[in-house]
């Protein structure tokens, strides 16, 4: 049985970005300790997204050219790229003088938009695995053998 790497790697950016968003929101009440943790988690999630994306691109080589999953693959990739861009921009906006600053209103808005894109990418990833049966050698799989 084949075990693809992409589904295993995506847990790291998903967890870091989700917890980073929660920490930034908690920073509205608890201040610096929470938003500093949020910034570190956003940075870790952004770095962890790179190998996850590369693994996802590799998985595409196993998808048949005539697969009905291609539409959902493109939507999944678009949502994942949007989440990455939004979180990276949120991180970039709070990088000041070599240190992380408070996220501010724009940073919080980017976190929430990134989380929405991340949720859409996750839902579409689930649709690819459970609806189209991608990612393994299960009967009915649309992948190449």
Give me the chain's average pLDDT, please. 92
Confidence band, pLDDT 50/70/90 cuts, at residue 42 = very high
Enumerate the domain spans of the chain. 6-131
Confidence band, pLDDT 50/70/90 cuts, at residue 3 = confident
Residue-wise pLDDT tens digits, 90-112: 999 999 988 999 999 999 999 99
- The residues pairing with 14 across neighbouring beta strands, listed in sequence order, are none
Q: Is 13 helix (H, G, I), strand (E, B) or coil?
A: helix
Q: Around Cβ 34, how many Cβ atoms within 10 Å? A: 18
Q: What integer pLDDT is reported at residue 73 of this predicted model?
A: 97
């Amino acid at each position: 049985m084949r075990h693809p790497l992409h589904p295993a790697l995506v847990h790291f950016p998903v967890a870091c970005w989700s917890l980073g968003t929660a920490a930034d929101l908690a920073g509205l009440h608890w201040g610096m300790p929470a938003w500093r943790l949020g910034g570190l988690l956003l940075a870790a999630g952004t770095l962890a997204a790179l190998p996850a994306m590369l693994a996802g691109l590799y998985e595409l080589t196993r998808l048949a050219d005539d697969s009905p999953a291609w539409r959902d693959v493109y939507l999944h990739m678009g949502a994942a790229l949007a989440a990455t861009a939004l979180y990276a921009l949120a991180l970039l906006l709070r990088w000041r003088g070599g240190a992380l600053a408070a996220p501010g209103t724009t940073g919080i808005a980017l976190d929430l938009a990134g989380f929405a894109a991340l949720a859409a990418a996750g839902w579409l990833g689930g649709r690819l695995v459970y609806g189209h049966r991608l990612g393994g050698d299960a009967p009915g799989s649309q992948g190449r053998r």
